[in-house]
Amino acid sequence: MAKLYVNPGNPKSKINKEIYGNFSEHLGRCIYEGLFVGTDSPIPNTNGMRNDVVNALKEMKLPVLRWPGGCFADEYHWMDGIGPKKKRKKIVNTHWGGVVEDNSFGTHEFMELCRQIGCETYINGNVGSGTVREMSEWVEYMTFSGVSPMADLRKENGHEEAYTVNYFGVGNENWGCGGNMRPEYYADEYRRYQTYVRNYYKDKKIYKIACGPNADDYSWTDTVMKIAGKYMDGLSLHYYTVPGDDWDHKGSATQFDEAEYYLTLRKAYFIKELLHRHGAIMDRYDPKKKVGLIVDEWGTWFDVEPGTNPGFLYQQNTMRDAMVAAISLNLFNKHSDRVKMANIAQLVNVLQAVILTEGEKMLLTPTYHVFKMFCDHQDATLLDSSLATETIGMGKNLIPNLTESVSRASDGSITITLANLSLEHAYPVETVFAEGTPDHVTGTILTGAMDAHNTFDAPETVKAADFTDTKLADGTISFDIPPCSVISLKVTLK
Ligand code: AHR
C-alpha cells in the first residue's frame, strides 16, 4: 500500500499558472500551419489563426506563450515582421531547415494569437545578432502608449493601443546558438541590453529574463548570478530529455523497448537535481528568492519522424511523453518557491508538442491531456505532501514508481496529481489527510501502453477518461493506480 500523506495545514508556495506555459518558435510547422494559416486558408481560422488549435489551447488553459524562439530569436529582426505583408522581407531560416521565412507572422500576429487564446505574452529578444537599439525600439513599439516614433509606427500599422508584454527574454542560449558567449561576457551584455528594456507601463512591469544555463552548466548560473543577478527578474534553464547518447541517435519517439522507457524517465528525473543545484547557487546570491528560475525549454527530444525534414523536429508523442510531462510538472509544482514559469518545447508539431496537425486535421497528444488534467494546480497553493515510493526500473535506470504533487485552490478544493511509472504493476494508494475529512472526490485518468499514441486516423487512442474507482472511507481516499497511468483527483474536505 502506497500511503500519500497530505497536510492541508502546511501551505507552501504559490504554483504560478505560468508553470503550465508553452513555447512557440519559427521552426518547422509550429507557427506556419500549426498555429497560423493565413486568412485565405480553407482551414477555419480567425484572423489567420486556426480555430481548432486556439479552442484546444483555451480548453487546456494555456497561461503564457513564449515567442519567436529559441535559436530563431537571436537572428530575428522584428522590423521584418511588421507592416503590409506583401512588403515584408523574405529571409532564410538558417537554423531550421533553411526554408524561406516570409515574416507573415510577426509581432501583431503573435499578439493577436495570444489575445484569442487569452494567454500572457513572453517575447524573446535578440542579443546574438541584434543591437541594443533594435531591442529597445521593439519594446517601445509594443508597449508605449504615448507619442514616439515607434508608438506612432505601431499605430500606422493598425494598432492604436499599446500591447501587453508580460515577460521579456534578453537573448536565448547565448552560450550556444545565441552567440557562443562566455558567461562573463553575456552577463555584461545582459546588464547593458536590459537597461534599455524600458518600462513604459504605469500599472505593471515587464518581467526581465536573463539567459540561464544549459542543463548542468552550474558555472554559468554562478557567474551570471554574480555579475548580473540584481538586474533580472528571472533566469532561464533549458533541459531536454534525450534518451540517446548523441544527437545523431536520440532514439525513436514511438519505437522503443522497456529499457529505453526507463532510461527516458530516469533522464527526465534529472531535472530534479538541476532544480536543486541551480536553486542552491541562486540562493547564495538571492536568498529571498526574488529571481525566478524560468524553465523556458523542456521536454523530450527524439529523432524526427521518418521521412520528415530533419530541420523541422517533428516527432510523435506517446504515453512515455505523458509520463515525462507528469514527472516534470509535479517537480515544478514542488519547487514553485523558485520555479516561476516553465514552457514546454514546443506548442504544435515540434518536439514534445501538445498538438499535432496535418492539413486540416488536428490531434491532441497524451502530453496535452496531462496539461489539461493538471490545470487546476494553476495559481493554487502547493500543499505539503509525501508519498512512500519504491524504486523500479531496469539496470542502471532506476526511478521511483510513483510521482505526485498536491495543491489547494482559492475555493478550497484540493488537486492531487499522481503518475504510476511502472509498466508492470498497479499499486494500491491510500490518501491520508492530516486535517479535514474528504467529503467528495472526482477523478480523471490517462492510461495506455508505453508507446500508445494518437494518429490522424485514430486520434482518440489515448485520451483522458473519468476515474470513478475511488473509495472514501475512514477519512481516507483509496484506489488502485494502473501501470503506466496518470490520475488527477479533485477533492473537497469537510
Ligand atoms: O526547441 C528547439 C531549440 O532547442 C531551440 O531553438 C533552442 O533554444 C534549443 O536549443
Which atom number of ligand 1 is nearest to the Cα of residue 96? 6
* Residue 467: CB atoms within 10 Å: 21
Whose Cα sits closest to atom 5 in ligand 1?
70
Q: How far apart are the first and last CA of the chain?
A: 25
CB atoms within 10 A of CB 466: 9
Q: In whole angstroms, give the CA distance from residue 320 to residue 484.
A: 8
Report the pLDDT value the prediction gives residue 61, as an integer from 0 to 100: 98
Respond yes or no: is residue 160 known to be catalytic. no
Decide if 404 is catalytic.
no
406 contacts 374 by C-beta, under 8 angstroms: no
| pLDDT score for 125 | 98
- Residue-level pLDDT at 177: 98
Residue 169: what residue type? G
For strands 355-358 and 361-364, give the pairing.
antiparallel
Cell, residue 95: 537554423
- The 10 Å Cβ neighbour count of residue 381 is 17
Q: What is the Cα Rg of the chain in Å? A: 22
The CA distance from 376 to 413, in Å, is 9
User: Strand 64-67 relative to strand 485-493: parallel, antiparallel, unpaired?
Assistant: unpaired
Q: At what angle do helices 183-195 and 218-228 cross, to 10 degrees?
A: 40
Residue pair 487/370 in contact (Cβ under 8 Å)? The answer is: no
- Indicate which residue of 109, 137, 189, 297 is catalytic: 297
Ligand 1 atom closest to 176 (CA): 10
400-404 contacts at long range (C-beta below 8 A, 24 or more positions apart): 400/269, 401/2, 401/425, 401/427, 402/2, 402/427, 402/429, 402/481, 403/326, 403/327, 403/330, 403/331, 404/4, 404/330
For atom 4 of ligand 1, the residue with the nearest CA is 70
Output the tens digit of pLDDT for each of the chain's 494 residues. Answer: 899 999 999 999 999 999 999 999 999 999 999 999 999 999 999 999 999 999 999 999 999 999 999 999 999 999 999 999 999 999 999 999 999 999 999 999 999 999 999 999 999 999 999 999 999 999 999 999 999 999 999 999 999 999 999 999 999 999 999 999 999 999 999 999 999 999 999 999 999 999 999 999 999 999 999 999 999 999 999 999 999 988 899 999 999 999 999 999 999 999 999 999 999 999 999 999 999 999 999 999 999 999 999 999 999 999 999 999 999 999 999 999 999 999 999 999 999 999 999 999 999 999 999 999 999 999 999 999 999 999 999 999 999 999 999 999 999 999 999 999 999 999 999 999 999 999 999 999 999 999 999 999 999 999 999 999 999 999 999 999 999 999 999 999 99
| CA of 71 relative to ligand 1 center, distance in Å | 6
Q: What is the Å distance from ligand 1's center to 264 Cα? A: 19
pLDDT value of residue 360: 97
pLDDT, residue 427, reads 97
pTM for the predicted model, two decimal places: 0.98
* Catalytic residue (choose from 173, 189, 260, 404): 173
> Which DSSP symbol is given to 231?
G
Collapse the DSSP code of 394 into the 3-class scheme (helix H, G, I; strand E, B; otherwise coil) and give the result. Answer: strand
C-alpha 346/C-alpha 355 separation (Å) is: 9
- Which one of 29, 238, 312, 352 would you pick to mutate in the ligand 1 pocket, going by the greatest count of ligand atoms within 8 A of its CB? 238
Q: In the block, which residue shows the cell 554562478? A: 222
Alpha carbons within 13 angstroms on the beta-carbon side of residue 163 total 30
